[in-house]
Structure 1
């Protein structure tokens, strides 16, 4: 009996690939606009206290203004040699978890030591403005979106020292006296290293009364824009 031709042979079953395994680990990215990933938020809370919580997603939000891993920052606790120090955000702001982490590190390594050095008191609060806000740069009607649109920027209007009475609040627009001026100069210098962008009074009219800091992604990671 002649051998069967290939066309007469039954077709071999097509192998079915295994279902992909879900990615795990701290480097797994959360979808844009989702709540903060357990890893990022948990790490932030362990290090900087329970004044941070996951932000609720906003139904119908413009996809261009989605925040990756949004968190609401009411306060950040800094671990010191003496005792934990709580820095309130007045009012609370919504930021990306990555931005909140950078802000917390900057406060702990630079701003709090500067406050102690210039005033022998602790930084207790930040007077802040925009965190997450769906808008274009400098509130223009045209042009690129601001980093605020994705929760990667923060505007700071003042730094509250101690109880706010003895040394008062260092107002970014108008520091009172030499000590406040030197403190603010140190803060702005440190912000140039901590953030990708740092703009304050003297840079342009849009930033004449506050310090804007953000973590804008750039082609060269070491690139900074600081004025």
Structure 2
């Protein structure tokens, strides 16, 4: 996972019960890795090593088993993409849960204290970025209404243990349908997520700043 962040406009409702369990399953099973890159607009993203790149070496905890996506999962690329902010250069993985709704980590939208605060309206989403490069705006843009189309597990997350991965999730509505297909989402308690992982049924597909940038990586 990536560093924890938090604090935007106070627009999110309170969460309890199923919503919190949904966030826990989402965070533990498939929360995206944050990237430090420099997204441009329609011309595409700056590659590592090019002028303007902000890529730094990332820390990997445990065994680094990242690999190219196995053949049986390649069709999932059309459900996963990059969420990018053109002003702050924040780039995160996001995935489709409906034709016009994506899920990501809430810290991508709400940075921690001391970091530049992004405007929700400045985010763009590009599904299957490595192949399609199409950019979709968020609902409520242009303008200041975009925060009203975000549902988040929390606005402030602990950056020190115990971390709050269970609340590190956000759902975002897009201005137009950008997803041809979507992942089904099911609420699961933490114990069940752990059991599924132990049985080898949990894996991650995500973009990483230090592994084939802008190409999805597979890890277990």
- Normalising by structure 1, report the TM-score: 0.24
Q: Greater share of helix residues, 1 or 2?
A: 1
- Structure with larger Rg: 1
| Bigger RCO (CA 8 Å, 6+ sep) | 2
